[in-house]
Structure formats: C-alpha cells, structure tokens
Chain A
Amino acid sequence: MTAVRHVGGGAAAGCFGTRFGEPSVVERDLLAAPATRLLLLAARPAPPTDLASAVELAAEEGIDWPAFLRLARSHRLTPHVARSLAGCGAVPEAAAARLTAMAARAAARSLAAAAETDRISAALAGAGIPSLTLKGAAVAVWLYGGPDRRMFVDVDVLVPPADVGAAIAVAGAAGYGPPPRLHMVTPAQAPVARKRFFAHDAALFHRDRMVKLELHWRAFNDPTFRALETALQGLVRDPGRADRSAVLAAHVLVHGAAHRYHRLGWLMDAAVLAGRLDAGDWDQVVRLAEADGALNAVLLGPYLAHRLFGAPVPAALEAPLTARVGALRRLAGLTQTRTPDDSGTDQPGALRLHSMLHDRRRDRARYVATKLLRPTAVDMDDRTLRPGWRGSLSRARAQAPRLARFAAGIVMPRRRPAG
C-alpha cells in the first residue's frame, strides 16, 4: 500500500497520495474546499472505512450539500458517490434523497445510451461494417461491471476510416441527423472531413431519443498517436486480440490527459485501471506509449489517480513515474487549476500545454502545425467540405480568423499584468 497523507483541514479531511512528493500549491488550493475533499474521498473505488467521520468533519466545516451534489454531477461521479454514501447517517436526509434521485436519473440515461450503442453496433454489423465501442458504454461495462455504474451520455463508435461514409448512411437510416449547431457530414463529404479537418469523428444526433452519436474514424483529433490508432483499428477488426486490455487502457489514459482530466470521472477510470491491469498489460501500455512518444500523456492518469484518489501505483509504472515526476507534477497542476485563465483553445499557451503531453519535439511541432492549419468540426459546411481547390479556399478562409487570434496571442506579451 502506498503512503497517503491527510492534508487540508486536518485529520481525515482528505487522503492525499504522497508517493511522489508533498502536495503542490495548486493541489493545496484544490483541497482547501471541503466539498472537493469529500468528493475525492467518496468517489474513490475503495472509499476509506472512516468515510462517515470525513462526512461529519465536512459538515462541521459547513459543507454546502447542494454544491457538493452539483460538483459530483459535473465531474460525472454521481453513481460513485451515491454508492459510497448510501446509508451514511451523517449525510443530511434531504441531500441523501437528492443524491439517490440524481443517481437513478444518471443510471437511466446511461442505460438508454448503452441500449442505443448496442442498436447502432448491430446496424453497422448488419451492413458489414466492423466497429469498436469506445469510452462511455465500453468503459462502464469493462471497469465498473455495468452501464448503470458509470455516467455517460454519448455513443462513441470507432469504424475503419474507409467505412465512415457507409457508416454515416447506416446511422442516417437508424434515425440520426445533424446535431444542433453542427453540420451533418454526408457520406460523400466524409473523405474530405477525414483528411482536411482537425477532427476525428462525425457527430450525429437522434432527435427522438436525444442521443448524440459520434462516428469516429480516429480516436483523437491529435494525429500523432499513430501506434495507438493502429492498435485500436486492430481491435475494430479483431475484438478478441490478446492486447485488448492494454490498448483500451492506453486509449482511456490518453483521452483523459488530452482533456486535462477536467472531469474527475475520467480520472476515476484511471484509478480503477491502476488496480485492475496486471503487470503484463501495463508493460504493453508503456510500450505503446513509448512508440507514440506519449508516455507523459499515459502516466498522467495513474499519477493523478494516486495523488487525488489514493489509487495504488502499479509496480510496472514505478520507474517511469519516478523518472518523470517533475514534468508530471507540472502537467498535473494544469489539470487542477483554471490557470492560465486565458487558455482558449486558440491561445499559444493552451497549445503549448497540450503539446507538453508529447515526449518528442517533432510530435509537438506536428500537433501544433495540424491544430493551426486545419479547420475544426465547427467550420464544416457545404462549402468547406467540397473537394478540390474551391474547398481548400473555403477552409483557408474559415481558418484565417483563428490564425489571426493565435498571432495576436503571441504578440500580446504574456508576462504583463492583466488589466
């Protein structure tokens, strides 16, 4: 068992993994809020045996229960918290009742999305298109034992890139149309969307069932994770491959890091993985990450899961985590604070911190160049999705304002005080 330490508001206020050093200033700030400390304790895969006393302490500190429940929901941790706090007498009756109702609604929604995932997968299979369920439904079953045990709302399916057009047609026949505010990519436009945009999926929407379907031709917008993308496409063709657990784990970890773990639900997945995968699986995960120069991205999840959720540190990760602890500490800080405040996706700072997930300079450069030069899904329309020079011109026009904002972000000195 790795060491965990109490920080923040005294004993039992929050267990914090200290295997890789004392909490940083950013982490101390994060743990200063009683609601956050309680959430990190109550949501973990194995809640502490003295959770009730932590609840009592949070109550003494004046925890705002409605805010706590909102925090749990926004981090997609309602089912985890509901399980841990069920029957805990220290939770006020009204909060307990509200939590139970929220968990029931979340479970119903997850079950509906899971059923829709099955329906789409079957329709694709019926059309001869192989597919792999990613993220929500797949992770809920794999890591938690059932779709109702983890919150998710979307359907994510990976198909071979060449089959995207046909898959869109299948989804259209299944009742899916354009999502709100986004253009519906037609089967004919799919090749342009796939090759010319900073995008990795076609977003579709079922108006009656209120379900969003993301048909992925790649797992990530970022084009640098080649080995992982190849391995995932391998699973599309052969779901029974021996490296299935390692490949899916690497996808879960890189996906969470790419989103800076801004939802703790993704970090919970990393915490469960830390206790679930065996040494052989972790070795495969590390090899895959090394091939893509993405060890920072893969290790960030286990590092943070240990620190915030007290997750065990897999033996196979001890050495790489120890060797990169400085970089991971800085990456971790970026997941735990809104700083830098102006990190819009087009800002140089935001690009730089995202590129820090890459171990190799050339991958950082490739990521930045692709991000800057290719328009995104919100720019997709009938003009930008045209093939040929007319489409190229339309895409360049769409991207120009973004490049201008980026240039302005460079010209504006970052070190000057705001205001």
Chain B
Amino acid sequence: MGIVWLASYPKSGNTWVRSLLTAYLGDDAVRIDALGHSNPLVTRRWFDDVVGLSSGILRLDEIERYRPACSRLLADAIGDELRFMKVHAANVASTAGERLFAPEAGAAVYIARNPLDVAASMAPFFGWPVERAVDVLCDESWVLNDAAGAMILPDRLTSWSGHVTSWLDAPGQRVHLVRYEDLHADAAAVLTGILGFAGVTPVPGEVAAAVEATRFERLREQEAERGFPEHTRKATAPFFRSGVVGAWRRELPPRLAGRVVQRHREAMVRLGYGDLVAEVERAGVTA
C-alpha cells in the first residue's frame, strides 16, 4: 500500500486517528509521545538533504515547488510497506502547477471537523482569542510553522474551506473522508473504514480493543502525566481539552459563528454539516 497521508486542518482529530491506528497496528500500549511514523516531509533537515538546497533561504513558493518530487522520493524509499503519515499542509498546487502531494505518492485519509468546533479548539491551543482563530479559519494565506529558523518547514494551510477542497478535489488523489463527529459517534466503525481503505483486513476484537485503549480520558491522563510533545508553548489549555462535539455553542459568540458559516457554507454543506449551517443561520446573526 505504501504511504497513507493522514491529512487534516489542525485540531480536527488527527492525533486521535493516529492513536487508534497505533493502538491497532502497534505491538505495545499506545503512547501519545510516540504515535506511528514521523513524516520526514515536514522537517527542514530531510528536505534540505533530499532537495540539495538550504530551505532557510527559500520562499514558501520555492519550497513548495520541490514538494511533489519530495513526496515521490519518500514513496519510492518506503515502497509497499504501509505507513500512515500526519500532514497538516493543504494539498494546493505549486507555482509549477503540481499538487504538493503527488497522487502517485500515496492515498489520503482526510479528517474533517465542523469548523465551528475547530475555531473553538484552536483558540486555546495557540493561545489566541477566539476572534483570531476565526480570522485564521477564513484566511486563504495562512501559513503554519512560519517562524524563521524552525526545524519544521512552513505549511500553507489556506482557509478551512480551501484546505478541504485542496484534498478532496485534488486530481487523481485517492481520498477516504473521515469526520471527527463520526469518530465520536462510532470510533470502531471509522477505524474499520480507514483500515479497509488502507488494505488492512480489520479484526473486530482488535478494533474494539484499540478504541478502548484510546478513549479520550486515557489520552488526557497520559498528557497530564508526561505531557504531549506536539502541544504549543502558548497554549492556554491541555491538548486533550474537552473532547466533545458542539463546544462552539458555548465558546463561540453568535457573531463569529455567523462569520464562519457565511465564509464556509458550501464546504460545510458538502461535508454534511448542513444542520449546523441552518442552526447558525436561524439564529440570524451575521458577521
């Protein structure tokens, strides 16, 4: 099978999916500080070695021009071995017209979450006011990891809608869509679907055990004990914060919820969040 990208906008359930897969495919108990395979594509050192240039002197568009070739080389190196790899970058086209993740390099599991909840979750994760989180969700030019000298390459995320369509509409890209809300409702069914997509025959008992091992409370306990390396320093809440669906009703002012819906209506309806669109629009508050 080779590479399966676990692609998502931040705070959309990527870590939970990786925990489930690690619990199912791994030999040991799940540890949140060792979730599956790291993705070398995002590190400067790997990029610099493989491309043969110092990414530190390149603009983002120049880095992106080399990313399709990088994804193909990584796929060649991995061969047929199944590897799930976390990705936050949008699968946009480079200035050369190629998608950053070449379709022949790997299939993708796209993990989506209602953007209202994403905004509510992103704010404490980055230590932002919730207004800033909504701004970012609507910003087509948002770049993650844009700090000079960072060990991780900058990732262009675009807006929430742009991110969704960049993956779901990428020409030739095999994509399996997963919703955070469905994970909440029936994690076993979602995990079974992902495994089937990746060519792994699911064993029901082991799927149930994986779901049990990665219950939210267990992951949160681990974070409290050992911390979580992917958490940001500016965060104002734990990474595993509330783990609920619909927290936006409590944390997002109606004006901001209206703005999110107004901006992302089309993609929300496409992903099955039409009821939330209707709920916000019924409230009658617009940006």
Contacts and interface: CB of A to CB of B under 8 A. Distances in A.
Interface of A: 24-29, 326, 329-330, 332-334, 336-337, 339-342, 349, 352-353, 356, 414-418
A415 B154 contact: yes
23 contacts: A24-B52, A25-B51, A26-B51, A28-B69, A29-B69, A326-B48, A329-B48, A330-B52, A332-B52, A334-B54, A340-B57, A340-B58, A340-B62, A342-B59, A349-B57, A352-B56, A353-B54, A353-B57, A414-B58, A416-B141, A417-B59, A417-B141, A418-B95
Nearest to B66: A25
B277 interface: no
Nearest to A356: B54
Given A25-B70, A352-B57, A415-B143, A341 B52 contact: no
Nearest to B94: A417
A25 B69 contact: yes
A28 B66 CA distance: 11
Nearest to B146: A415
A415 B148 CA distance: 9
Nearest to A21: B49
A211 B201 CA distance: 76
Given A24-B49, A342-B59, A416-B59, 19 more contacts: A24-B50, A24-B52, A25-B70, A26-B51, A26-B53, A27-B52, A29-B69, A326-B48, A329-B48, A330-B52, A333-B54, A339-B58, A340-B58, A352-B56, A356-B54, A415-B60, A415-B148, A417-B61, A418-B61
B214 to A, nearest CB: 35
A25 B60 contact: no
Which of A25, A341, A416 has the largest number of chain B CB atoms within 10 A?
A: A25
B136 interface: no
Contacts of B62: 339-341
A43 B67 CA distance: 32
A330 B54 CA distance: 6
Contacts of B50: 24-25
Contacts of B65: 339
B57 to A, nearest CB: 5
Which of A334, A341, A349, A415 has the largest number of chain B CB atoms within 10 A?
A: A415
A334 B48 CA distance: 11
Contacts of B66: 25-26
B156 interface: yes
Contacts of A349: 57
B130 interface: no
Contacts of A26: 51-53, 66
A416 B66 CA distance: 16
Contacts of B59: 340, 342, 414-418
Contacts of A332: 52
Interface in B117-168: 141, 143, 146, 148, 154, 156
Which of A326, A330, A418 has the largest number of chain B CB atoms within 10 A?
A: A330
Contacts of B52: 24-27, 329-330, 332-333, 336
Interface in B31-84: 48-54, 56-62, 64-66, 69-70, 73
A334 B52 CA distance: 8
Nearest to B53: A333
Given A25-B69, A25-B70, A326-B49, A417 B60 contact: yes
A89 B58 CA distance: 45
A340 B49 CA distance: 17
Contacts of B60: 415-417
Contacts of B51: 24-26, 333
What are the 6 A-B residue pairs with the smallest beta carbon separation, nearest first?
A24-B52, A333-B52, A333-B53, A26-B52, A417-B61, A415-B60
A353 B52 CA distance: 13
Contacts of A337: 53
Contacts of A356: 54
A418 B96 CA distance: 12
A356 B65 CA distance: 23
A329 B52 CA distance: 5
Which of B48, B52, B53, B143 has the largest number of chain A CB atoms within 10 A?
A: B52
Contacts of A414: 57-59
Contacts of B53: 24, 26, 330, 333-334, 337, 339
A278 B25 CA distance: 57
A356 B54 CA distance: 10
A24 B73 CA distance: 10
Contacts of A339: 53, 58, 62, 65
A334 to B, nearest CB: 6
Nearest to B153: A415
Contacts of A29: 69
Nearest to B52: A24
A326 B50 CA distance: 10
Interface in B89-107: 95
Which of B48, B53, B61 has the largest number of chain A CB atoms within 10 A?
A: B53
